[in-house]
Every structure is written in structure tokens, then in C-alpha cells.
Amino acid sequence: GQQVMQIPQYQHVQEGEDFTTYCNSSTTLSNIQWYKQRPGGHPVFLIQLVKSGEVKKQKRLTFQFGEAKKNSSLHITATQTTDVGTYFCVSYQKVTFGTGTKLQVIP
Amino acid sequence: KAGVTQTPRYLIKTRGQQVTLSCSPISGHRSVSWYQQTPGQGLQFLFEYFSETQRNKGNFPGRFSGRQFSNSRSEMNVSTLELGDSALYLCASSLGERTYNEQFFGPGTRLTVL
């Protein structure tokens, strides 16, 4: 069945450093969505990627969808303490969530 | 616009009991999905409803059921509760027909089974 692996599970960075999380699928994805969940909060939609090789930017966040549509990445430039939380990718073909990457930013 | 609301926010039950959780989507949203979140398993999809019809179902036992009403409000029911059912249950609504669209999550119901 479809699996979406997300790495790393945890990441601690100094404020100002960059951060990247990756989602890898065993099968081709029709689309992928990214969500952020703050500690004690609920997931909040960030972006949806649909096209092969697609790159989208939101301020300091850059999202990519692989050429083969089997992987995706989220890159945060110059992290801030407000970036703290868990970042999930999700494929809605089989509604499979990545395991999430928990980001901790050290001020 | 008010966001997705879920009631109750917290619930404590004992093994063997049943529980009903409620979700009110954002006004105008007709698609509602339910998810279970646990530290060990992460986020898992339970089911999706659109216009009172179940469109998709996750890999959960039959003890987990749901329904959607004509006003798009949704309920999920868990019968014969087990300790492993302790989790945060999240509801999400979306404007479109399928979960491919942006999902707006509610605050969740924290269920503890003793």
C-alpha cells in the first residue's frame, strides 16, 4: 500500500538557521499537501502541490514537488521561534499522512 | 467566518462505553473528514463525508462510525471503547467535494479511555 515517509522526525536548530523536511512516497502521488501543527494546536494548511517539479514560495518557506511526483520538501530559510511546530505532508489519494517533523528553534 | 467547532473538547470514558463526538464545519463547507491523532501512530484518516454520504473510509474497525446531517454537521461514534482509542480526534471541513482541497481543522476532542 501507499506509504509516505517523512524525515527527519525531529530537528533542533538555532534561530536563524535553515531547516528542511522531506516526504518520500513509494508510489507516484497525484498531489501533496503540507500542514503545520503548533504544540497543543491543530493542523493548519500551508500549501498544495500538484504539478511535477512544482516549486512554491511563501515568504521564508519554499515547497517543492519532485519531478517523479514521489517526493516533496519544505525548506524554511532563517528560522524564527514562530516556526516551532510539527510539519506534516499528506497525500490525499489514500489519505496518508507523513509521520511529521517536529521542529524546535533555539533562540 | 467562524471556524470548525468540535464538541466536547475533552472527554473521559471507561472501557466498553461508547462515545459520540460532534463537528460543525465552516459555514458553506459540505465536506467533513475525521482523523485520529496519537503520539504513536500520528495522524490517521477515519472517514470523509460529503452531502450526507460517506465518500472515503480509513482502515479502522467497524466500532468507528460516522454520519453527516443535511446541514453538513457531522458526528462520529466509537462503540465498545478500548484503551487504545485514547486520542485526539480531529474534524476538518473543506469547501470542495473531496479532501484534495484545503482542509480546515477544528481544535479536536481529546478522548481519554480509562
- Residue-level pLDDT, tens digit, chain B, 114 residues: 789 999 999 999 999 999 999 999 999 999 999 999 998 888 999 999 999 999 989 999 999 999 999 999 999 999 999 999 999 999 999 987 765 678 999 999 999 999
Contact B90 A42 (CB under 8 A): yes
Query: For testing the chain B interface, which of A95, A97, A99 should be mutated: the one with the most B CBs within 10 Å?
Result: A95
Which residues partner with A1 through β-bridges?
none
Q: Are strands B109-113 and B10-13 parallel, antiparallel or unpaired?
A: parallel
Q: Is the pLDDT of residue A91 over 80?
A: yes
Q: What is the pLDDT of residues A10-52, one digit of tens each?
A: 999 999 999 999 999 988 988 999 999 999 999 999 999 999 9
Q: How far is B70 from chain A (nearest CA, A)?
A: 24
pLDDT for position A47? 95
pLDDT for position B100? 66
Query: What Å distances lie between residue A13 and A44, A76, A79, B64, CA to CA?
Result: 22, 11, 8, 40
